[in-house]
């Protein structure tokens, strides 16, 4: 088994829950740094800009830079620029700033992200009409989560709304974010580590562990965040190992 050179860390449910750090996680990230391992923070967060996410985590005690964060909005901007696409955005107003280098004139695609209370009938209808007006409708979705937990309650995630537009327009959404292999590959490329020398730690069995393993990256599941006991006996996705928390996962990674 190849030695670990790079560690990919999910943020929500691994480093923090809501606005509090998960006990032991700040020290765990520090330990990885002391051992000289490369780290990238791989998140599907689309309700906040990279800048505000990094500043929140810094205030919690984590040490990280914006360059180390891979999130769907910057990856999406990269794709739009590569393809010369002009989006109509159905995203949270807080993240529009991440799209400042993109042209919105005469849109030729729709980008949908976690818009929370901005997923109104009017906003969905607008995106729907723009798609229907294109000869070749292009729909991008920043993630495909069905729901997530916020303040102890389940809430609908972007995947459920993307499915609504897919159904109405007969177009299949292109996903940017976990668990898409291209998203994990971007992270590997950025840290210049081969998949077999990387390891991903996450609380989402399918998106984090399964997504990483589809790219040949070892996937570790933690029993924090959205973890559910049934994850331990999933018929298809088998984590490399399961740890109680990030602190424990890091100890095990460093002793491998
Ligand atoms: C993390 O997991 C380890 C191993 O199970 C446990 O001993 C430790 O108490 C946990 N840390 C916290 C803060 O829960
Ligand atoms: C529909 O497409 C035409 C030209 O392709 C454009 O001028 C018009 O603004 C579009 N309407 C909407 C609602 O997007
Ligand atoms: C798979 C994954 O990381 N899901 C996260 C998606 O984003 C929300 C916040 O917008 C998190 O709560 C989920 O854990
Ligand atoms: Mg998570």
**DSSP line for 77-106:** HHHHHHHT--EEEES-GGGGGGGTTS--SS
123 pLDDT above the threshold of 80: yes
Can you give the pLDDT at residue 24?
A: 98
Instruction: Compute how many other C-beta atoms are within 10 angstroms of the C-beta atom of residue 228.
Output: 10
Can you give the pLDDT at residue 100?
A: 93
> Residues lining ligand 2, judged by CB closer than 6 Å?
129-130, 133
153 pLDDT above the threshold of 90: no
- How confident is the model over 110-130, as a mean pLDDT? 97
pLDDT tens readout for residues 8-44: 999 999 999 988 999 999 999 999 999 999 999 999 8
Q: Report the separation in Å between the CA atom of 51 and the middle of ligand 4, taken as the mean of its atom positions.
A: 19
Cβ contact 89:80 at 8 Å: no
Q: Report the separation in Å between the CA atom of 28 and the middle of ligand 1, taken as the mean of its atom positions.
A: 12
How much is the mean pLDDT over the chain? 94
What ligand has the least distance to the C-alpha of 251?
Answer: 1
d(CA 42, CA 54): 12
Q: Report the separation in Å between the CA atom of 47 and the middle of ligand 1, taken as the mean of its atom positions.
A: 30
- How confident is the model over 209-227, as a mean pLDDT? 97
- How confident is the model over 55-80, as a mean pLDDT? 93
Structure tokens at 21: 């750090």
Can you give the pLDDT at residue 228?
A: 94
Residue of 45, 176, 184, 228 to test ligand 3 pocket, by largest number of atoms within 8 Å of CB = 45
Can you give the pLDDT at residue 171?
A: 97
Can you give the pLDDT at residue 192?
A: 95
Residue of 106, 109, 129 to test ligand 2 pocket, by largest number of atoms within 8 Å of CB = 106
Can you give the pLDDT at residue 62?
A: 98
- How confident is the model over 127-156, as a mean pLDDT? 91
Ligand 3 pocket member 12 (CB < 6 A): yes
Q: Report the nearest-CA residue for atom 3 of ligand 2.
A: 133
Ligand 1 pocket member 247 (CB < 6 A): yes
* Ligand 2 atom with minimal separation from the 130 CA: 14
d(CA 26, CA 9): 12
149 pLDDT above the threshold of 80: no
- How confident is the model over 109-119, as a mean pLDDT? 96
Ligand 1 pocket member 24 (CB < 6 A): yes
Structure confidence at residue 116 as a pLDDT band (50, 70, 90): very high
Q: Report the nearest-CA residue for atom 12 of ligand 1.
A: 23
Q: Which helix (H) or strand (E) holds 9?
A: strand 6-9
Structure confidence at residue 170 as a pLDDT band (50, 70, 90): very high
């Amino acid at each position: 088994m190849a030695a670990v050179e790079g560690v990919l860390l999910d943020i929500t449910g691994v480093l923090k829950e809501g606005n509090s750090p998960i006990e032991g996680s700040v020290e765990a990230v520090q330990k990885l740094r002391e051992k000289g391992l490369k780290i990238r923070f791989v998140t599907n967060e689309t309700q906040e800009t990279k800048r505000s996410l990094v500043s929140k985590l810094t205030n919690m005690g984590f040490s990280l830079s914006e360059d180390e964060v891979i999130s769907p909005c910057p990856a999406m901007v990269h794709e739009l620029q590569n393809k010369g696409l002009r989006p109509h955005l159905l995203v949270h107003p807080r993240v529009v700033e991440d799209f400042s280098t993109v042209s919105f004139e005469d849109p030729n695609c729709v980008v949908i992200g976690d818009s929370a209370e901005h997923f109104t009938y009017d906003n969905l209808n607008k995106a729907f009409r723009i798609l229907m007006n294109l000869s070749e409708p292009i729909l991008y979705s920043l993630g495909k989560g069905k729901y997530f937990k916020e303040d102890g309650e389940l809430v609908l995630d972007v995947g459920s709304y993307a499915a609504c537009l897919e159904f109405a327009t007969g177009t299949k959404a292109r996903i940017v974010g976990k668990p898409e292999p291209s998203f994990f590959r971007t992270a590997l490329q950025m840290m210049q580590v081969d998949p077999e020398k990387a390891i991903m730690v996450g609380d989402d069995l399918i998106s984090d562990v399964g997504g990483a393993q589809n790219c040949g990256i070892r996937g570790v599941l933690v029993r924090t965040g959205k973890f559910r006991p049934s994850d331990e006996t999933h018929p298809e996705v088998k984590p490399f190992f399961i740890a109680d928390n990030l602190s424990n996962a890091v100890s095990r990674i460093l002793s491998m």
